[in-house]
Structure 1
Amino acid sequence: MMWWAVLGAGVGCYLLKLAGLSVPPRILGNPVVARIADLIPVALLSALVTVQVLAAPEGRALVIDARVLALGVAVLLLLARAPFLVVVFGAAAAAAVVRLF
């Protein structure tokens, strides 16, 4: 039964990709559509990060812990235009220090 779900998901993904490729160029050339298409990945990534930071291990509650501070440190380092590795290690260090105390 599991293989049918995997195959169905694969066919669904292929059809979704095919639908995206079949959109006429005149529609994709519209500035509003282009702007929305540029912002969708940012919105999805932001939603995923928010869920991972605020979700409890059980998944049914919101939790404010060291991960929130680490995200805040990462945002501040990104606004300061720090290199990616500095952002990652800075956020990890902030979370480690908060969890230590």
Structure 2
Amino acid sequence: MSPTAVVILALAVGTYAFRLVGPVLHGRVEVPARVQELASAGAVVLLVALLATGALTEGGDFAGWARPAGVLTAGVLAWRRAPFVVVVLGAAVVTGVLRAVGVSSG
């Protein structure tokens, strides 16, 4: 068996085992409230970091002002509970217009 196949098989078994642990240990292990709060906060921090990285950088450099403006527009529209299609189209229109008028570079 090739080393690649071994790695893929090991990752598959590990993933399955990791997913199986939840139902098997449910009700048997008590997670303290503080740990649950920290896990929730950690998830939010990771999502914000991913959003910031995707919105502000491209290839390790600043992506320009058009993309963050589009992301900000999407955030405001989502906060105002606009339909998903409106959020996506609003962000695309703002980004497209700003790039069309030359605001794309940093």
TM-score (norm 2): 0.68
| Correspondence for 2:49 | 47
Instruction: Tell me if 1:15 matches 2:20.
Output: no
| Correspondence for 2:70 | 70
Gaps of 5+ in 1: none
Cα offsets for 1:17-73 (capped at 9, x unmatched): 23333253533xx544444455554443333222222222xx333433321111110
* Bigger Rg, structure 1 or 2: 2
Describe how 1:26-37 pairs up with structure 2 within 5 A.
26-27=30-31, 30-37=32-39
Separation (CA, whole Å) in 1 of partners of 2:18 and 2:48: 22
Separation (CA, whole Å) in 2 of partners of 1:43 and 1:16: 23
Separation (CA, whole Å) in 2 of partners of 1:36 and 1:69: 31
The alignment's C-alpha RMSD in Å is 2.4
Q: Which has the higher helix share?
A: 1
Shift of 1:95: 0.7
Gaps of 5+ in 2: 102-106
Task: Please tell me the residue identity of whatever aligns with 1:5.
Answer: V
Task: Please tell me the residue identity of whatever aligns with 1:80.
Answer: R
Count of residue pairs the alignment pairs up: 97
Percent identical residues: 32
Structure 1 pair 48/80, CA: closer, same or farther in 2 (3 Å)? same
Separation (CA, whole Å) in 1 of partners of 2:95 and 2:76: 14
Structure 1 pair 80/47, CA: closer, same or farther in 2 (3 Å)? same
Shift of 1:7: 1.9
Separation (CA, whole Å) in 1 of partners of 2:52 and 2:17: 29
